[in-house]
Structure 1
């Protein structure tokens, strides 16, 4: 599994969006987390996302990931539509998935307003597709980064991947020598997947925000840079990586910066506001670090992210996907 190239998205997706509507304030675009639609006196943020590979906590992750995209645009997630495909009519599995959806939605204050459920024999694991909606007073795009902005990362790299590795791949981690206590702590990273708290702090100051998912922090930065037409030089040593993430990713031979990254928020803020923004996040109990500075890209070929001497453009493949093959 991998994301489509920017060229394919432009040719086959962004150019085919049906009838024009004046109430559409922000539609499909490379790297954008959600759309924005004008409503009476407000703006509605709408996003949809599938999830299939994380078997153990798929409902929990599904709600968090769908609502994160709304939060990454400055929205307050309020409503969720859930489509559930199951490999068979397994009531135990259905009970588990819907219980997770309900628990996480209640925890985040989101109402499940509808959806669809059916079985699909071609599947070998559950598949969810969730659409989340919520209002905002200030829509924040991925494409708003300006040269001179500071790049802020909340929490750290590989949060979602760490939780998934600890649950879906526990036996492999133990066989590789990761101790049980570390794996147990890594499994609690599911509790850190939501970015609603940091969105509430960042949305007032950010010029751009983005939710790193597939391809991790590196791909999130590549998408932010590409959408904004800028260059970001990243020193990976500035990116926080927890001991649990290091242990789990090391055991499975995947790069913490190139694996499922939900749970972190990338935001660009004016440089003279960065210190105050980071301080406010810390006061709210949210770890945050300035990891880079946005630079101008004089030419189109300069757009992207430079890390470890490599110039990254387009998309970064997520190294987790090979583990399910």
Structure 2
């Protein structure tokens, strides 16, 4: 029997109110509203459905793909390849490693710069034709890398690894992510250690708790940062949104968190290091952040 790969779950969706699309979080959907409202994907606007989650797994409500209604091709919530499929194609996951791709914001900047170059570029000789991904054969005996582009990619991958049945392999794959390209809220010291020994990546993922009062410094044009907290109280992260749009989205997140009577939100970031400084007995890690997301797969 063929396995049907479902679209990725979504923490938010849209619904129509007075003829206009309005955002709503899955955790805020009232049962009566669920019965009378049609919800749409927040990215490609196809119809999605609300799910209460599984209490046995302690998972919160979310939106998922509506029956026989796939997301549009370029939508970030479209179906994707699982570790199970990857293992079936390659034959093993033993040599699978992980990397971080340049943030989409910077990729777009590079494209814009290329488009503004002079017409002389058009005279360049055509580059060799690259193979389509489906034509590339991976040698299972050699090391191969899977790149994670977004925070959602990271959280999805960790969830997929956690669900793998092979305990030894599960541990091996997690070790290739934690402390290498991802620093959880208990691993901030590893950012410092990797910076000192020269192994810190140009771009990496971080997670932690953002309190509801962080909108105060985010809306201050002279500061425009928020603090992220982990388990080690002697290390703080100061996160600087790369664009005004990210700044606004972070502020909106703190407002929604407050409205839901919560004191903080657990978030993940795609970031790069600005600098590490000492203030009294605190170590401050300053980061430029290019994207953030909440963990919709497993709530830490």
How does the TM-score come out when normalised to structure 1? Answer: 0.24
Structure whose residues are more often helix by fraction: 1
Higher RCO (C-alpha 8 Å, min separation 6): 1
TM-score by length of 2: 0.26
